[in-house]
Structure 1
Amino acid sequence: MQLSSASEEAQSTPAVPGTDPATRAWRRSDLVAEQDALFYELIDGAKAEIAAGIGFANANGLTVDTVEQQDFRIPSFARDVPDLRKKLDEERGFFILRGLDPDRWTEPEAEIISWALCNYLGQPMRQGIAQDRRFFTVADKGAANTDPTRIGASPKRSAKHSDNGCLEARPPCYLALYCFRSAVEGGDNTIISARNVYDTIKAERPDLLPLYFHTYDFRAPQAHVWPSRGPTIRKPILEIVGGELHIHYARVMIEPGMEMAGTPLTDQQREALDYLDDVLDRPELNFQYTLKAGEFLVMNNLAGLHGREAFAAGSGGRTLKRFWMWRRHIGPGTDPVALDQEEFA
């Protein structure tokens, strides 16, 4: 990748438009007075509808792979979905759902419930070709995990990243993590605002800002790529789409991806990524929370990055169900004509 002169690159850096919500640029201190607003509690009516949905699924032998939207209706939750989407699209970009009794549901039942809730927020995306088509179980897979890009399958600390959904032309709009079992120790989830990352870089290192809008090769996880399309996907770290600032990042995917593409990182690019990693680890810019069993973290995957602290390894440990969703209400949604027009125009 050839770099332009500093003046040319400064001119090529897109400005974040006024339509990007200013509420995106939150710091940890901003959230202290907003604790209640960060949580959403299922009402009793929704809990009763969920129980009825599980009863119907069990009576008819439905699983998380065979249940459909028409099989599992939660109208009491549906009434609140517009406000929850607003939290994701216009406000802080995340919320934590509470109210699911972790002791009431088996693991297969919890998978159906969490898929059904996500199905109201957006269109669930597949996460693998032959498996993980509706969700992925985030847990310590031990020696069975041989893919260095899948930190989620280990108990190691997971640095800030976005989920990139390399099977599809578009990454997930939303990410949801349902906690079926919490860690004995550790495993805190962390979130950082992309807008605050952008503002910090612009204030401290404007000379590096253009490099994040360049296109990089990301090494795709082995289970997240079509064999015929090659081992990498190409995208910028920062971009402006439809008036929104989007972020795509995973250092563990970029360095090997650039090597595989035959364009290893330049000294300037490496400096930019090192600086970005420093910004992402600043405690004052991060929200940190330990999910409890039965809680559901939902976030805008385009407007923020997430990570996870290390946790105690071993069987019976921390187990989360991860879901990816496209937004149905913004952009092309589920209309196949609009999808083709966006992705193949």
Structure 2
Amino acid sequence: MTTTVDLSPISGPSAWRGDELATSTDWIYEVSDAERTELETLGRRFVADDPDLRTVTGDDYPLDACTGLIEECARQMDSGRGFVLVRGLRTEEYGDTLAGAIFYLMGLHLGTPMSQNQLGDVLDHVIATSDKTLDDPTALPSRVRDRLPFHSDSSDVVALMCLRGARAGGASSLVSGTTIYNEILRRRPDLAPLLFEPWHWDWKKQDPDAPSNTYTSPICGYVDGIFSTYAGSSMIFSAQDYPEVPRLTEAQIEVLHLFDEIAQQPGLPLDMDFQPGDVQWLLNYAALHSRTGYVDFPEPERRRHLLRLWLRRDVGRPLVEGFGKNVVKARGAEEQAPKPGGRFRIADAVVPNYDWGL
């Protein structure tokens, strides 16, 4: 395994710019009639069977007509742009339970669903359940309406299905980690090597049940010619609250601010306005994600509502040891244990838990 830091610009399909992709629809996969019919048929069977979401597998619901769809999603995540938007599902006709079943079935064929919260839920929600803002340290990013900073999630793959959009705003924003790195290298080649060094990340504030206050990971990795990123500067700065964590140097602070500044540079991010039925698949090591602020409809049943999956996906991607939040992905055995309050049947799981994340 070769992990030599590459201080040359990284090329390839993952090095994209949003202003260039916005002029095409190459990143959108329109489902065919045959694919839609198969997903609807299997989704109805899934609802009728009512399996435990923690133990059901893709082998229980084999796909035939959708083989090309799954292969294209996998290809784009693993060796392409790092993401794909699937469009054409008629969620407004299905109801949330069938829509959630179809989403979960697709996920089973692209990875293994992970627990996403202290309740052990493997299907979670992005929906505003309070009027808090991110200025409130108790606010959960997925449950507020603020614009989110660009970041990586605690999984190999993060996927979103749009059930209902916002009254205004709420665009999903993606940016290429490769392009950010190339721009840092162009502007400040003296700071770029710092991204490959280990950083301390706040674990306790992400997961109150975490076994330690922090974990460590580089922000960038380059192994066997494959470039990967893992980002979220707020958790690095938050780790400074713990006295055992080394203080950030001026150069480290400078490169973190530069990384965030470039991520928001006009022309680099790609904003996509979700339509009901849209499904976004994203490899966390290739692209970072965010969301613009939004305004909800006044009626609770019309609120912006996305379903979210976190997946483990082992495709043999070479990563430096300890890259990303791998400590979470290693806790598979714990996730199978029953947890009070968790929702592990599809009809229950598609309903947001308004008693959690307030």
TM-score category by the smaller chain?
Answer: 0.7 to 0.9
TM-score, structure 2 normalization: 0.78
Report matched runs for 1:119-198 at 5 Å. 119-132=108-121, 134-142=122-130, 148=138, 150-163=140-153, 165=154, 172-198=155-181
Deviations 1:305-329 (A, max 9, x none): 1111001146342111111222243
Q: Distance in 2 between matches of 1:77 and 1:239?
A: 33
Match of 1:109 in 2: 98
Higher relative contact order (CA 8 A, sep 6+): 2
Conserved 8 A contact 1:149-1:252: no
Q: What's the CA shift string for 1:292-345, capped at 9, x where partnerless?
A: 11101112210111111001146342111111222243359xxxxxx9xx98xx
| Unpaired runs of at least 5, structure 2 | 319-325, 331-358
Which residue number in structure 1 is paired with residue 236 of structure 2?
254
The offset of 1:16, in angstroms, is 6.4
Q: Tell me which moved more, 119-128 or 97-106.
A: 119-128
Contact 1:39 1:96 in 2 (8 A): yes
Give the counterpart letter for 2:260 in structure 1. Answer: D
TM-score (norm 1): 0.81
**308, 312, 323: which one pairs with 2:309?**
323
- Identity among equivalent positions (%) equals 25
The C-alpha deviation readout for 1:204-251, integer Å capped at 9, x for no partner, is: 111111221222221136564644x21322111111245321111112
Q: Which of residues 20, 27, 34 in structure 1 aligns to 2:17?
A: 27
Q: What root-mean-square deviation, in Å, do the aligned CA atoms of Structure 1 and Structure 2 show?
A: 2.9
Does residue 38 in structure 1 map to residue 27 in structure 2?
A: yes
1:1-345 to 2 correspondence within 5 Å? 14-15=5-6, 22-33=12-23, 35-62=24-51, 64=53, 67-132=56-121, 134-142=122-130, 148=138, 150-163=140-153, 165=154, 172-220=155-203, 222=205, 224=207, 226-227=209-210, 229-260=211-242, 261-313=244-296, 315=300, 316-331=302-317
Distance apart, 1:186 and its partner CA: 0.5
Q: CA deviation at 1:108?
A: 2.5
Q: Distance in 1 between matches of 2:101 and 2:208?
A: 26
Matched to 2:250, the amino acid is D
| Distance apart, 1:17 and its partner CA | 8.4
- 331 and 95 in structure 1: CA distance in 2 versus 1, 3 angstrom threshold: closer
Q: Which sections of structure 1, spanning at least 5 residues, go unmatched? A: 1-11, 166-171, 333-338
The residue aligned with 1:335 is none
Looking at secondary structure, tell me which structure has more helix per residue: 1
Instruction: Decide whether aligned partners of structure 1 residues 274 and 117 sit closer, same or farther in structure 2, where only a CA change above 3 A counts.
Output: same
SS at match of 2:253: helix
Question: How far did residue 21 of structure 1 move?
Answer: 5.5
Q: Quick one: distance in 2 between partners of 1:66 and 1:325?
A: 14
Alpha-carbon distance, 1:28 to partner = 2.5
- Residues 138, 153 of structure 1: 8 Å contact kept: yes
